Amino acid sequence: MKRNGILNSDVSRVLSYMGHTDQIAIGDCGLPIPDSTERIDLALAFGEPPFLRVLELVLQDMKVEKIILAEEITDQNPDMLAKIQALFKGQKVDVEFVPHTAFKAKTADCKAVIRTGETTPYANIILQSGCIFAD
């Protein structure tokens, strides 16, 4: 039995096969997921698990060089945006804001989308994998 890190076998598997510039998304419970993209459904009930907790755990197992957010988060969910920004404080991570419609289209290029139980608006992020041996 695994002792450390993410216990969910699907999340662990996807993270382990990601390479530099590959992307994975973490979304709220309402984010549409393209049929062509793997869905890892963690949602148990409204609010469970929360988006931020899933993001925190994924960040412990993944080096991120870029994040993509829906620009609507700035007006519709500024508290969540502040919490996301706090997680990346002091790190060299590029941030890109795109319209939510473009964000949803970008999930088709992700290795997977992790669905959480989050119910606050625009609590979605795309994480682009960095290179673990180059800085």
Q: And the tokens for 32?
A: 């549409």
- 100 annotated as ligand-binding: yes
> Is residue 108 among the annotated active site residues?
no
| Catalytic hit among 7, 20, 85, 108 | 20
Confirm whether residue 123 is marked as ligand binding: yes
28 is in an annotated binding site: yes
Rounded Cα–Cα distance for residues 42 and 58 (Å) = 13
CA atoms of 29 and 33, how far apart (whole Å) = 10
Q: What are phi and psi of 32, to 5 degrees?
A: -70, 140
Pair of tokens at residue 40: 């890892």
Does the annotation list 17 as a binding residue? Answer: no
- Is 75 marked within a binding site? no
Binding site for substrate, by residue number, is 28, 100, 122-124
Catalytic residues: 20
